[in-house]
Amino acid sequence: MIAYLSGKLLEKHTNLAIVDVGGVGYEVSIPLSTYYELGDVGSDVSMRIYTHVREDAIQLFGFKTLRERDLYLRLISVQGIGPKMGIAMLSGMNADEIILAIRTDDLARLTSIPGVGRKTAERLVIELRDKIGELSSGGTAKHDALESSSLPSDAIFEDALSALVNLGYQRPLAEKALKQAAQEGIEISVQKLLRRSLQLLAK
């Protein structure tokens, strides 16, 4: 089973990347969150991989962080959520939003993801609510925990993110700018996060 790939980014699309590893090109399905974290074509890239084996195909699904892959594995363990739907969920919401929605029984938020109906949302909550606690702060991956330790509270982050999305920025891009702003050590408030994020997005 392939669990990790490291090589050159040969191609990059919103739902697909091709990674050249020693002259072999691996086609990897990716969520939008990973797409925005990848560098330019030709740059070095590494991804955590989930290998899905079927009778007629072997599919690779890639993620920039171990935490994101761990959440993905939990999502696809739920009946009705296959590998492609798991990718669609992580494209429709970031990991923090999905975890928060499951832990707070927020069915409306879960069903806002294209393809996720009420019954599937209910199964997600029932089956995963007690299984994703260690993921809520990035606890399963030390390198992710370091990243999350300096992030603002959920409420402040969500308010700032909502404002950026309402201004027309794509959610993954807005999240990236907010995280970068927060890690620069600025005072954590919606207004200051927004101001700095807008400066980063304008570059």
What pLDDT is recorded for position 144?
Answer: 44
* 76 pLDDT tier (thresholds 50, 70, 90): very high
Range of the domain at 40: 4-63
139-170 pLDDT, tens digit per residue, is 444 444 434 444 445 667 777 788 888 788 88
How many independent structural domains does the chain possess?
A: 3
Q: Which of 93, 118, 141 is a domain's end point?
A: 141
42 and 79 co-located in one domain? no
User: What is this structure's pTM?
Assistant: 0.65
55 and 71 co-located in one domain? no
52 and 83 co-located in one domain? no
Give yes or no for residue 198 having a pLDDT over 70.
yes
192 and 175 co-located in one domain? yes
70 and 125 co-located in one domain? yes
73 and 125 co-located in one domain? yes
Give yes or no for residue 191 having a pLDDT over 70.
yes
Q: Which of 31, 47, 63 is a domain's end point?
A: 63
123 and 167 co-located in one domain? no
Question: What percent of the chain has pLDDT above 70?
Answer: 86
Is 68 in contact with 76 (CB distance < 8 Å)? Answer: no
Query: For residue 6, what is the enclosing H or E element?
Result: strand 4-13
Is 42 in contact with 18 (CB distance < 8 Å)? Answer: no
87-124 pLDDT, tens digit per residue, is 989 988 888 888 888 888 888 888 888 888 899 999 99
Q: Which of 63, 91, 114 is a domain's end point?
A: 63
What pLDDT is recorded for position 138?
Answer: 45
Mean pLDDT confidence for 24-38 = 91
89 and 50 co-located in one domain? no
84 and 116 co-located in one domain? yes
Q: Coil, strand or helix: which one is 131?
A: coil
* 186 pLDDT tier (thresholds 50, 70, 90): low
57 and 72 co-located in one domain? no
161 and 123 co-located in one domain? no
What pLDDT is recorded for position 137?
Answer: 53
125 and 106 co-located in one domain? yes
